[in-house]
Amino acid sequence: MKLTATPSDEALLRQMMAGDANAFEQLYDRRQAGIYQYALRMSGSHTLAEDVVQDVFIEFLRDANLFDSSRGTVVGYLFGMARHRVLRRLARERKYVSLIAEEQKEEMRSSGVPDGFVAETDPLTDIERSETVEAVRQAVLRLPEHYREVVVLCSLHEMSYEQASEIIGCPVGTVRSRLSRARIMLIEKLQLLRLTGVAFAQSARTRSEV
């Protein structure tokens, strides 16, 4: 049996620049879902996600020659373009988004978001799972953007700190500290920290010392 090696993104890019439409299609197939999901997770909007995928690949078609392999990977380049567009759109629609978020916050308060939603070992029923997913989605969407993006890239897309730092354009240490802070915020929003009497007292003592 003859094994065919899967061409790298960079190889497909070279073929694409030589006019190979199939190479472009292959690269698109490989990367569009990730970019779509990234934009969706950052914004909560399918329309925005679609627009971002379209704009990213249109620009990629136009400016593929600007890609410099010594400065990063094709996937990092594509995500970088997507990030730029997502943040620009979110800034433009911030007022609208914040109104939605307020509505959602109100809905969550009235519908009762699952409190400390899952026990570590309990299997999730479908209802619990959908409640959990919705609660986490809303909590992630309400994070400030620079915290949200590290959660989306590192926790949802399972990227390494290095990959995330390439996309965001900041040091690895910044990614690490933002992620840590973002997780604390999520734990607080989702009320996941259950303290016993002893731990609560310990927590109060630690806070007063800081």
Partner 1 sequence: MTCQEFEQLVAELSTDRLASARTRVVALAHTASCELCSARLIAEKKLNIGLSALAENSNREQAPIRLKQSLRAEFEARHATKSRESIAPGVARFTVQHSRWAKVRRLWTWELFTADRRWQAAAAVAIVIIFAVAVSVWRSRETPEQSAFLIVSPSPEVTETPAPSKDIAPRLAANDAPRVVVKPKQAVRPRRQSPSQADKNDLATNYIPLSFAAGSTISNESVVVRVNVPRTTLIAMGLPLSVERGNEMLKADLRVGLDGVPLAIRLVRQ
Residues that bind partner 1 (CB under 8 A): 16, 19, 21, 24-25, 28-29, 32-33, 35-37, 40-41, 46-47, 49-51, 53-54, 57-58, 61-62, 116-118, 120, 124, 129, 132-133, 135-137, 140, 151, 155-158, 161, 176, 179-180, 183, 186-187, 190, 192-196, 198-199, 202-203, 206
In this structure, what DSSP letter does residue 19 have? Answer: T
Residues ≥6 apart with Cβ < 8 Å to 79: 34, 35, 38, 153, 167
Distance, CA of 52 to CA of 43 (rounded, Å): 11
User: Whose Cβ is closer to partner 1: residue 146's or residue 183's?
Assistant: 183
Report which residue type is found at 46: H
Looking at the Cβ atoms of 68 and 158, the one nearer to partner 1 is 158
What's the min distance (Å) between Cβ of 109 and partner 1? Answer: 19
Rank residues 68 and 209 by Cβ distance to partner 1 and give the closer one.
209
If the CB atoms of residues 1 and 18 are measured against partner 1, the closer one turns out to be 18
Q: What angle do CA 190, 174, 84 make, to 5 degrees?
A: 85
- Shortest distance, position 2 Cβ to partner 1, whole Å: 28
Which is nearer to partner 1, 74 or 140 (by Cβ)?
Answer: 140
Shortest Å, Cβ 3 to partner 1? 27
DSSP 8-state class, residue 45? -
Q: In this structure, what DSSP letter does residue 6 have?
A: P
CB of 189 to partner 1, least distance (A): 10
Q: Dihedral of CA 143/147/148/152: which sign?
A: negative
Nearest-approach distance from CB 76 to partner 1, in angstroms: 19
- Shorter beta-carbon distance to partner 1: residue 71 or 188: 188
Contact between 76 and 163 under an 8 Å Cβ cutoff? The reply is yes
Single out the residue of 18, 14, 37 nearest to residue 27, CA to CA.
14
Cβ neighbors of 72 (< 8 A, separation 6 or more) are: 80, 166
Distance between CA 77 and CA 108 in Å, rounded? 37
Q: How far is the CB of 66 from partner 1 (least distance, A)?
A: 15
